[in-house]
Structure 1
């Protein structure tokens, strides 16, 4: 019997100060040996060979039936940045993409995939654990794949001897197991049974992909500590102790996650947070030119996508580019083509039709009608969407009437929509290729469930016995379903029904109903008053919802083909009359939407252009805070802002402090109370404010003391501070001047 694998080294501390850096800035164990034994070299070669076979191809569609292409032939570099923290983000992921699309790239710190364990210039601390976050489909898993392939081919990170990729979707299949770390690796990497590893000899990297898909109980507050690798424990305890550094403190850890789950790992366990931002503008075009051989057709597709703001924003997501390429390449190549998709609903409905038709070109056994298959997949999509799940297991399929033995047939029927994977643990894992595909199918299910069966998916009540006896059925209308869906989406804390709502409303249009008839032979019909839905959405906008929640409602109006509010606001903006008009609550929300969805980067925000005789500065500032939050430079000079407006401003900036670089508040009635609030903001370690101008703001020694205290407690990034023409005495100014000569502080200019 082979002796269990051994990992030796310190297991009692996660202090990285005892580790050293190699010449390339990568992390090494203190006693790293550069000369591996012949057996060790053979093991490493076997590991590289196995991983290269597993990861060298990128499959478009499911692995068994999709066409494999070498990753390095079609890989388009992704835009990755160093992020401030792994804090949770409760906005819908499409909303996050919209926000990111307007950020000026010059303000970010880009980092290449292969450099994630290498400190940037000026950083001297070793990096053991990296958390990479990004929305679904943005390219996290492909980044992992690229890292592994380049390592296995001997191109990058050759100081790492072994890489163990352990996706959470596969680890989930072992959640009820009790075993030690060696046994866990033996299950996923059989070649490790023939090797003995010491942390002094091997530098290993564990990659835990898809933290958001984790179904383990990760309780990092547990006092159970594992320091011995031969000690058996539950799989979740093994993972937690690896991440915390109790087990194998010399090992590197890479975790990927969607933003909503990023805080499952405590920040003190993470040494670097990176964010995959998908494709930037040049990378979008590069993708389509690589994907589509006919360059003239590629140009036409790029031009069409740029003509629709909602589609162009989504192209930051690589998977959406793939969907768009499939749909538009087929439609624009046809001699007789229908209406080219201009909305998300049209694009995804065309995609569903194309992928379902692939079934007819293959020799799959016809065990189920298309309509039944789509309804079952739709039911699964809806139920799991309500639970917030992206991946499913056999019990989830059975709960929706899907025979697990026919799961591969279902995968074939919708080749690139529903994917079956056989994990290394030989358990079956199922998922939709993209969260938005799941949301579209869920909306389609809700629509068909009502039109064909007169049932509202949100209605949990059962028909009463009395009504059954009288053979009476409650009539459900599409308007009722839509109003209920609007309410449910608005009540969601993380916006997880936002895109589902947009799809559901879009499917009700006659143009999309015509498309559905190509997909389903039986589509029920019912009277639908589109104007009623439009008015209900506008009513919700008038109810002074938070601007963030209103934004999705404007997207819904766009799906319904109503842009009256937006056109009105755009006319005011173009004419320069916006400051002289008394805007209604709906118009203020429309103004926020127009500003936040414009193609212009949110660089400089000037409040003066929106203030008129009918509104105070504080009122306007409060209405436009979502725009302020996304701006790098905020110009509020001589606007009439008071300490009340300053309180709202600092509260908003505290929720998103890393964006703001310049704040101009000169000639406002801010006073000491407002300055104290700004001082609190400066103490936030994520605040990157570089220039603060408070000329003639009524600041006294009390406010100056608060600023000095804030800068002392957190050196921050503040470089220039203007306090001229305030009621300050020399001793107050001297305290601030002392900071300028202290090398620990960045303050270089004081007025």
Structure 2
């Protein structure tokens, strides 16, 4: 009965709401994901879309691939016992679906049959019990009532606990606590149960599988984790396989694949299975009908078309409702924006009420755009809400910010800053005139100040929504009381100014994507001319043009095989070469072979190279430092990089 109940729950994939979505048999649609063994569960605070763009450049040979069903099996040559596995990966990359497939294969008797019980306990469901006290046996009986007759013990049973979604955990996991539990019938708080289970005091022979987004991967100390794997999403062949399985008309699938390949930024995003699903939904409709609209070429266009598609699906289902599409999108947008600023991706009933979303009608509201807002009913029937993917939350948040300006002349960032002020001040504040460029510049500043880049994609969407082509797309969805009163030129100039002054390669790359959304390719086109003609060595380039070189090289389709400094700076002027070396360090970090002959590398340069060798993953295989006079401290710094466990260097000259 236990297996059969799990098979019913995990045998189907619900895209959209679990209650109204169209379930697909998981085995029919499942496409194997590219999962690799990772060096560590280290914390990453880079925006997840940037991580995807970086991952898209990695070659398959750089990683050790692992099949989902083999995560507890040692690789050839490894003789370690693996009890606890941490699997990390960005939102929508396929962690939960991997867990689902693993469980389904077990229930069907195909894999891991040495395990007698698999207990999936997602954090979003455990969160609802955070203030309660249970013994481990009682907790399992709540989630799996059919196990009441069975006494789980370490000696008699081999069991696996799966804790999916560490990043949404709202419990305090204290691994330093002195509370030690060894008995499955002993009661304690739910967080104490979990930490004792992970540490191995409770059921020491039980297997533990934890999944997490990279930003939360360090919540479990590394000494309790025996293997770290990383879900990389789809590699190139898997992307195509997904569309061919998803779209029954193969000639249409071919057209969809070739359209996505024609836009580098869209094709990179197809590493994320959720983005493939969004693209398939939009392009299947647009390419199979005589649609008059322009086929989406940017991220913002794709997401706006997806939003419209979902509201049309809702109309076809003919819901009875007291709320218009426009009001609902604004309410969802407000929720998306407020929670994005707080850094939340999971919401509870009180969060919805705060935005005027009536919880009793939540299922109808989530049905407004069936697949945009997912209401999840767990085994433990508490209500948890989330957007299907973080990027959909970011798009709706940007739409809310844009419409607050067009319809009410409000800057949403000022509303956050001023929400503690008295209403009088707010009323007078509301009548201040805000220009579109004011809103954009404030959003640029907020995104640049964010430590973990959580507003980077929001900014790209916000700028894309202001384009005239977008006003036309949005017309069918909602009224806008004013059009763009000022052009995007001021915003473009402001972004270019920020590119000149920002020291962070990640931030400047995102700003180039923002220029892309605004239709300004001037800096990139100028650099491409220099690179094609080979005249870059003679050119006197501004700081923003050097940033453009980094952007062009890091987002080109070609893998970065060799970086030769002499291609970028003429003659043997060591000072010039050293300056160029520092400006192009992000490119050096992604290259396999680096030639830095006669560069006058300083101690600071050696420290930078050591950080490249220590990076995870480290791509560098060959490093040529011929005719550089390194001092003793430089050699010491470089040696520290060579000794690092991540260093993969094969040749050093």
Bucket of the pairwise TM-score, normalised by the shorter protein: over 0.9
- Return the match for 1:603 from 537, 558, 561: 561
Match of 1:577?
Answer: 535
Structure 2 distance, partners of 1:461, 1:398, is 21
Structure 1 distance, partners of 2:216, 2:356, is 30
Question: Kindly tell me: are residues 448 and 468 of structure 1, through their superposed partners in 2, closer, same or farther at Cα, counting changes over 3 Å?
Answer: closer
- 5 Å-filtered alignment, 1:282-681, equals 282-459=237-414, 460-461=417-418, 473-613=431-571, 616-656=576-616, 658-681=618-641
Structure 2 distance, partners of 1:511, 1:307, is 20
What is the deviation of 1:690?
Answer: 2.9
- 5 Å-filtered alignment, 1:88-99, equals 88-99=43-54
Structure 1 distance, partners of 2:424, 2:98, is 59
Match of 2:144?
Answer: 189
Match of 2:57?
Answer: 102
| Paired residues of 1:62 and 1:415 also in contact (CA < 8 A) | yes
Give the gaps of 5 or more residues in structure 1.
1-45, 694-751
Highest CA radius of gyration, 1 or 2?
A: 1
Q: Secondary structure at the match of 1:206?
A: strand
What is the deviation of 1:282?
Answer: 0.6
| Paired residues of 1:467 and 1:473 also in contact (CA < 8 A) | no
What is the deviation of 1:359?
Answer: 1.3
Match of 1:124?
Answer: 79
Question: Kindly tell me: are residues 342 and 222 of structure 1, through their superposed partners in 2, closer, same or farther at Cα, counting changes over 3 Å?
Answer: same
Structure 1 distance, partners of 2:219, 2:56, is 26
| Paired residues of 1:517 and 1:523 also in contact (CA < 8 A) | no
Question: Kindly tell me: are residues 642 and 449 of structure 1, through their superposed partners in 2, closer, same or farther at Cα, counting changes over 3 Å?
Answer: same
Q: Secondary structure at the match of 2:563?
A: strand
Question: Kindly tell me: are residues 639 and 343 of structure 1, through their superposed partners in 2, closer, same or farther at Cα, counting changes over 3 Å?
Answer: same
- 5 Å-filtered alignment, 1:100-179, equals 100-179=55-134
Structure 2 distance, partners of 1:122, 1:471, is 67
Deviations 1:657-716 (A, max 9, x none): 6332332222211232221111111332332333322xxxxxxxxxxxxxxxxxxxxxxx
- 5 Å-filtered alignment, 1:224-263, equals 224-263=179-218
Aligned residues: 648
The two structures, once aligned, show a CA RMSD in angstroms of 1.7
Deviations 1:268-302 (A, max 9, x none): 11111101011110111111111111111111111
What is the TM-score when the length of structure 2 is the normalising length? Answer: 0.96
Structure 2 distance, partners of 1:465, 1:163, is 54
What is the deviation of 1:526?
Answer: 4.5
Question: Kindly tell me: are residues 190 and 331 of structure 1, through their superposed partners in 2, closer, same or farther at Cα, counting changes over 3 Å?
Answer: same
| Paired residues of 1:477 and 1:526 also in contact (CA < 8 A) | no
Structure 1 distance, partners of 2:430, 2:74, is 70
Q: Secondary structure at the match of 2:401?
A: helix
- Return the match for 2:646 from 681, 686, 700: 686
Structure 2 distance, partners of 1:350, 1:311, is 14
Bigger mean CA deviation after superposition, 293-302 or 465-474? 465-474
Structure 1 distance, partners of 2:393, 2:16, is 15
| Paired residues of 2:467 and 2:518 also in contact (CA < 8 A) | yes
| Paired residues of 2:161 and 2:207 also in contact (CA < 8 A) | yes
- 5 Å-filtered alignment, 1:194-205, equals 194-205=149-160
What is the deviation of 1:468?
Answer: 8.7
Deviations 1:404-423 (A, max 9, x none): 00100101111000011111
Question: Is 2:230 the counterpart of 1:270?
Answer: no
Deviations 1:313-352 (A, max 9, x none): 0000000000000101101111232100000000000000
What is the deviation of 1:191?
Answer: 1.1
Match of 2:38?
Answer: 83
Question: Kindly tell me: are residues 657 and 687 of structure 1, through their superposed partners in 2, closer, same or farther at Cα, counting changes over 3 Å?
Answer: farther
| Paired residues of 1:199 and 1:248 also in contact (CA < 8 A) | yes
What is the deviation of 1:399?
Answer: 1.1
| Paired residues of 1:452 and 1:525 also in contact (CA < 8 A) | no
Match of 2:234?
Answer: 279
Structure 2 distance, partners of 1:226, 1:612, is 68
Q: Secondary structure at the match of 2:549?
A: helix
Structure 1 distance, partners of 2:430, 2:314, is 40
| Paired residues of 1:606 and 1:634 also in contact (CA < 8 A) | yes
Question: Kindly tell me: are residues 467 and 103 of structure 1, through their superposed partners in 2, closer, same or farther at Cα, counting changes over 3 Å?
Answer: closer
What is the deviation of 1:627?
Answer: 1.1
| Paired residues of 1:449 and 1:456 also in contact (CA < 8 A) | yes
Structure 2 distance, partners of 1:411, 1:636, is 56
Question: Kindly tell me: are residues 572 and 226 of structure 1, through their superposed partners in 2, closer, same or farther at Cα, counting changes over 3 Å?
Answer: same
| Paired residues of 2:349 and 2:383 also in contact (CA < 8 A) | yes
